[in-house]
Structures are given as structure tokens and as C-alpha cells.
Amino acid sequence: MPTLILVRHGQSQWNLENRFTGWWDVDLTEKGVAEAIAAGELLAEKGLLPTCAFTSLQIRAIKTLHLALEACGRLWIPETKDWRLNERHYGGLTGLDKQETRERHGDEQVHIWRRSFDTPPPVMEEGTDYDLAADPRYAGIAVPRTESLKLTIERVLPYWEGEILPVLTSGETVIVSAHGNSLRALVKHLSNISDDDITGLEIPTGEPIVYEFDAAMKPGERHYLKDR
């Protein structure tokens, strides 16, 4: 049966430093590398071998995918990268230490920016250190200045419907290596989670989540591969 594997990238350097990352390109830590390799080893152990892969344009997700695929002997499978699987854009919060941001703006405001469904953080000003408008990987793309979870979902779901789902429907075992919020968008859709409840859902780093689809392409219950 068609099977979907979702993997959030392993721990990144800014995860470790407790900074808002968003679209900024940050590499994996040693722990993140180990998490990615462990995810691939678990895929091999459980006999769940991907035949097709999708990931974002961000190095932490790409490296996680490659390390996991190498660990399960599948580095050779077809792979597609797309910006629509990128992390949510944190706007003007990008690069800021989360605790310092709480001290400056208050716990309640930061909680709204991080966890509300449709309230985006402050807009990133043009020309700041973290402005990616001139990054060659985003040539021809209107790089967001900020995003709520709602706005992230609005770019992820059309990509799911138009690009990933048709591949899955053809019978492939698809792995998607992406980010906390882009994966939250997919889980919300596939598990029919409400707007209120999705904001509290945590997607752990490096732990494969699995959906199996029936003949009508209806997804079953999501589960962690480690529990399979």
C-alpha cells in the first residue's frame, strides 16, 4: 500500500542555541547528524524503504534526508527539492534568542507569535542580515517577509496536492524530510486536526512519522515508526 514517511530534520545549531530560525540556512549539530542516521537505521530495521523523496531547499532538511537515506541504503532514489516545504518564515524574529525575545516583548506576545494559528511575527525589514531576497536558490520566488502557521499551510498543501500526492498514489513509498511547521501543515491535513489543536502539536526531530493509505487514498492513523 502507498506509504508516507515524514521526518523533521535533526537538531540544528539554532535549535541548540534556542534561536528563531525560519528560512535562514543553519546546519545540523553532531546530535542532529546522529538523529538523522538513527532515523535511517530505523527505516532499515523496520523494512520500510523509501522509493521517492521530497525535501525543502534548506540544508538541515537536505542533510537529514541524505544521512537517513544513506543509513538505509537508499541514497540513490529520486529526490525533489522545493521551497514550499521550507520552514515557516519567522520574519523579524529570525536570528533572535527566544528567551531574550520573551524578556523584551513578554511571554504572552512571544507565545502568540510562536503558537497562534493566524498571527504572524513582525515583518522582516528589507536589507537586514537575514533577508534572503537575493539568495540564488530563491530566484523568481517572492520570499515571504513573515508567515503564520496558516500562511505556511497555504503554500504547503497545494504542493502536497499537486506534487507529492500523485507520486504517492502511484504506489511509491514517499519520504518527506522537512521542518516543524511545514510538517505540521501536512499532519493537520492528513489527521484532520483543528486550527486550535494543531498549534500545540510538537513534531520531534529525527523521528519518522508514518501514514499508510488504503486503495481510496485515505490515510490511516499516524504513528511513529519506532512504535510499529
Three cell numbers, residue 50? 523509501
- Residues facing 213 on adjacent strands: 219
Q: 3-state DSSP: the chain helix, strand, coil percent, rounded to 5?
A: 45, 15, 40
41 as an active site residue: the answer is no
223 as an active site residue: the answer is no
| Placement of cell 492528513 in the chain | 190
Average of pLDDT values for 160-168? 98
Kindly tell me if the per-residue pLDDT of 152 is higher than 90: yes
Three cell numbers, residue 106? 513578554
Rounded CA separation 64/122 (Å): 29
Convert the pLDDT of each residue in 99-120 to its tens digit. 888 888 888 898 888 888 999 9
Convert the pLDDT of each residue in 168-203 to its tens digit. 999 999 999 999 999 999 999 999 999 999 988 999
Average of pLDDT values for 117-138? 94
Instruction: Report the predicted TM-score, pTM, of the whole model to 2 decimal places.
Output: 0.96
Average confidence score pLDDT of the chain: 96
Burial class, 157, CB count within 10 angstroms (exposed 0-12 / middle 13-18 / buried 19+): middle
Residue 142: the pLDDT is 94
- Catalytic hit among 35, 87, 172, 207: 87
